[in-house]
Amino acid sequence: MSSLSRVWVVGTAAVTALGNDADALWGGLLAGRTGIAPIARFPTGGYKTHLAACVPGLHPAGPGSLVNALLDRLCAQLPPLPPDTLLIAATTKGGVDCLERAARSQPTDTTDIPLPALGTALRRRLGLTAPGFTVSAACASGSTALGLGARKIASGSATAVLVVGFDALSEFIFSGFSALQALSPGPCTPFDRARTGLTLGEGAAALLLASPERASTMGREPVGELLGWAAANDAVHITAPARDSRGLIQAIRAALARAGIGPEQIGGVSAHGTGTIYNDLMELNAFRAVFGENPPPVYGVKGALGHTLGAAGVIEATIALRALAEGTTPGTVGFSDPDPAAVGLVQSGPSPLRAQRVLLTNSGFGGVNAALVLGGKPQ
């Protein structure tokens, strides 16, 4: 590791159902607020639930994808970027809302439909000349993209990388999760004994990564550090996680090894925490296997933000960095009656960090699992 560059985080931005910036996001989480509310964007009468965590006041500006309006709000928070900054976009569905409208013979911009299209348009909008790319690794897209960006910095193949995760809620996405019987009738309750499924959300977030030397030439101070990253696939089922948690355990241990630390040096855990029965149990089993009888506090944010799909890992990394800066984790909204496996592990309210490192995990369809180790502001 000594020959590799350190990976600093030198900027963050976020748009979620709790507000249009990272301060609104953090304040809402600490207060235990939720962005989950009745959906006004499309009719929900034929579905199992009428709830989601939508960004307030978000509407398409013309025939293009709703994601463009989401990225408008995100770009307003970004600083000027060097043209050679590498853009890595993360999304599960991209501009699928345009495909939905085209299928209904409604006016739409079909150029937004191909998965890489919105990332390519964002790169041009930001004036970036480096050839970027798009990651679509199911619900681990955001954290996987961050791991790839960190590897680019660490290896020296890039010195500045902007990782942007985004997904907007459309009826196409909503109907798909409904058909899978994955949606909770009420707001999701991660790690709760009575959990019945997930609640969908939407959002966008960005992390600007840089080597220390490049950060200095950019005049950017670090807000945190990406210390470890890894991904693994349990190859068990197209939608269900491995009951023995093998893929997530492997990803966590590999991320810790890359960071050069042991489990006892993790101060808190940002869990995927969808609120589905099997995903939550798989995560809890993995954390017990890795941390043993003295686990750090675990929290999840999807009870407040819904499941933001491709944006989740980047949004949750933004939150983890703020937790490191403040020395406390947020609580887990919707968690009140612990699953037996969550007792003494998952926190319902804010909890002090035990150390200046946070483990972040995400898992997705197809058996993908990703893990990141984030550290506080480098000294």
Name the residues annotated as catalytic.
139, 272, 307
3-class SS at 271?
coil
d(CA 129, CA 234): 37
Place of tokens 């509310």: 37
3-class SS at 227?
strand
Largest Cα–Cα distance in the chain? Answer: 58
Q: Is the alpha carbon torsion for 12, 14, 19, 25 positive or negative?
A: negative
In the beta sheet, which residues pair with residue 162? Answer: 87, 208
Q: Which residues contact 348 (CB under 8 A, 6 or more apart)?
A: 331, 332, 335, 336
DSSP 255: H
Place of tokens 């159902």: 17
Cβ(226)–Cβ(150) below 8 Å? yes
d(CA 277, CA 187): 14
Given the DSSP bridges, would you call strands 224-233 and 368-375 parallel, antiparallel or unpaired? antiparallel
d(CA 369, CA 358): 17
